[in-house]
C-alpha cells in the first residue's frame, strides 16, 4: 500500500535536494539546460510543493515564485517522476500552488510553456497570452496565464 502527501517546502527543507535531482532528470537534462553560477541565490526566491510517496520519496514537484508587482504567482518548473506520470500528480501540484496563490491574495498564475505541455495547462484553465518566443536553449515557449478571481 502507498500514499502520497503534498507539502510546501523551501530551499532549506530536506526534500529540496530530491527536488533538484528530479528536476535535473525530467527537465534540465532532456532540454539540455545548464544551471547558472548564481543558481543557489536564485533558488532562495522560490517555494515548492512536493508530492511525497510514503513519507520518503519525492515523486513530483512544482517550483514557483511570488511576484507581487504583477499580482501573480509564476510557476517555474513542474516535474513528475516518469513512473507516476498520468496519475494526476502534476495537476494536483498545480492546484496546490493555486490554493497557495488564492490564500495569499494573488490574482493570477503565470508560466511559460513549451509546445508539448500546452494541452496539459489548457486543461487546467491556463490561457495563452501573446506570441511565441525562443529561449536561450532555442525552444519555443509562450506565456500562459490563469485568472484566479
**pLDDT for 82-120, tens place per residue?**
999 999 999 999 999 999 999 999 999 999 998 889 999
Q: Which three cell numbers stand for residue 127?
A: 490561457
> E strands within the chain?
4-9, 46-53, 57-67, 72-80, 108-114, 127-134, 140-147
The whole-number pLDDT of residue 40 equals 56
Q: Which three cell numbers stand for residue 128?
A: 495563452
Domains and CATH numbers, the chain: 4-107 (3.40.630.30)
The whole-number pLDDT of residue 42 equals 64
Secondary structure class of 22 (helix, strand, coil): helix
Residue 76 in contact with residue 46, Cβ under 8 Å? yes
Q: Give the global pTM.
A: 0.88
Model confidence pLDDT, tens digit, residues 5-39: 999 998 889 999 898 889 888 887 777 665 655 55
Cα–Cα distance measured from residue 76 to residue 36, given in angstroms and rounded to the nearest whole number: 15
Amino acid at each position: 500500500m502507498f500514499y502520497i502527501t503534498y507539502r510546501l517546502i523551501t530551499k532549506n527543507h530536506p526534500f529540496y535536494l530530491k527536488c533538484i535531482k528530479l528536476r535535473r532528470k525530467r527537465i534540465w537534462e532532456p532540454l539540455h539546460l545548464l544551471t547558472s553560477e548564481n543558481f543557489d541565490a536564485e533558488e532562495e526566491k522560490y517555494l515548492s510543493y512536493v508530492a511525497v510517496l510514503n513519507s520518503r520519496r519525492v515523486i513530483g514537484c512544482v517550483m514557483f515564485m511570488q511576484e507581487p508587482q504583477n499580482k501573480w504567482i509564476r510557476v517555474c518548473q513542474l516535474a513528475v517522476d516518469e513512473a507516476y506520470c498520468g496519475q494526476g500528480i502534476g495537476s494536483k501540484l498545480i492546484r496546490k500552488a493555486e490554493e497557495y496563490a488564492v490564500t495569499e491574495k494573488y490574482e493570477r498564475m503565470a508560466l511559460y510553456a513549451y509546445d508539448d505541455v500546452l494541452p496539459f495547462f489548457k486543461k487546467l484553465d491556463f490561457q495563452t497570452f501573446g506570441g511565441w518566443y525562443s529561449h536561450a536553449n532555442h525552444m519555443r515557449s509562450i506565456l500562459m496565464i490563469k485568472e484566479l478571481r
